[in-house]
Amino acid sequence: MGITVTPLGKYLGAEVNGIDICTPLAPDDVATIEQAFLDCQVLRFRGQHLTVPELAAFSAHFGDLQPHVQRKFQHPEDPNVVEMRNYDDDGNFDLAAASRGSMERLRDGWHSDLSYDSVPAKATLLHALKIPDRGGNTVFTSTHAAYDSLPDAMKKRLSGLRAEFSYGGNTRNKFTNLAANSLDKASRESTTVIHPVVCAHPLTGRPAIYVNPLITVRILEMGEAESDALLDELYDWIDRPEFQWEHEWRLGDTLMWENRGGSMHCGRIDYPRDQHRHMIRTTVSGQPIEAHVTA
């Protein structure tokens, strides 16, 4: 049986079946997955339980893996695998840890990974080890569809604009600072980076809204009030339900998502707080973000 790719959401998300991801992949299968990744931005592999080395080996088919900047999140078996837990060493709910990539209000938490880095990630892979009885979904929004549906006047207004991105330095979003609390001082203060407000995907060229409420501080080409208002308008837009697809976790699920433009994501913190959520994660290195400029 060959690989099958079945779309899940209207604009993004697809389930990939007919492939064993616990063993080395044939080059043709890697190429099929890469194409599905470009077409659908988020891929789901279901019903396959991965060990730490298996997740790392599967992920490495798609590029170089990047260890987490902070040692305390690195998995003891492999520095390229990141631990994502919502509880501390005593098993108690830890809001700062739970807030890494997740938010009570999605509107404040949309992001793509490593947008605070000069070279954001290509892909993130997340595999579920422990999930709550209910809630704790990961939600995706298509920032390609969001951009495409903007009025032409807005597309013109956004063309050529650049924005500042910062993890610990984003004073606009108090929730970011909560998540950033779990980072050490050096990571929190790592230099601010500049990316375009609208990017073009490096391989497909498709435009996407790139600014996000979690990490973007301000648009460079305007004053603070105008920048705040414009960013709020864009965040309300990408938050529209019609662009979203929501993944409900089952044990044995692995997701792989795009961070170079086209998709943003946010986890939900809506589960009973005494329930454990534990994921392992890898990050595949990307390339610099390119600007999309309208004619």
Q: Which residues bind ligand OGA (CB under 6 A)?
A: 84, 101-102, 113, 124, 126, 138, 265, 267, 279, 281
Give me the least distance between CB of 72 and ligand OGA, in Å please.
Answer: 16
Site string for Mn ion, 91-120 (x = CB under 5 A): ----------x-----------x-------
Distance in Å, CB of 100 to ligand OGA, minimum: 7
Q: How far is the CB of 224 from ligand OGA (least distance, A)?
A: 28
Number of residues that bind Mn ion (CB under 5 A): 2
Smallest gap from Cβ 116 to ligand OGA, in A, equals: 12
Q: Which is nearer to ligand OGA, 218 or 277 (CB)?
A: 277
Q: Which is nearer to ligand OGA, 172 or 247 (CB)?
A: 247
User: Among all chains, which residue has been given the structure tokens 């809506």?
Assistant: 270
Residue ranges in the chain assigned as alpha helix (H):
27-40, 52-59, 95-98, 106-109, 143-148, 152-158, 174-180, 185-188, 224-238
Residue with smallest beta-carbon separation from Mn ion: 101
**Residues in region 31-60 near Mn ion by CB under 5 A:** none
Site string for Mn ion, 206-245 (x = CB under 5 A): ----------------------------------------
Whose Cβ is closer to ligand OGA: residue 98's or residue 150's?
A: 98
Q: Least distance from C-beta 157 to ligand OGA, angstroms?
A: 29
CB of 101 to ligand OGA, least distance (A): 2
Backbone angles phi, psi at 232, to 5 degrees: -60, -40
What distance in Å separates the CA atoms of residue 47 and residue 16, rounded to the nearest whole number? 11
DSSP 135: -
C-beta of residue 110 within 8 angstroms of C-beta of residue 261 = no
The DSSP result for 149-202, as a single string, is: TS-HHHHHHHTT-EEEE-STT-TT-HHHHHHHTTS-HHHHTSPPEEEESEEE-T
Q: Which is nearer to ligand OGA, 108 or 113 (CB)?
A: 113
Q: Give the position of tokens 């994502």.
A: 84
Q: List interacting residues with Mn ion (CB under 5 A).
A: 101, 113
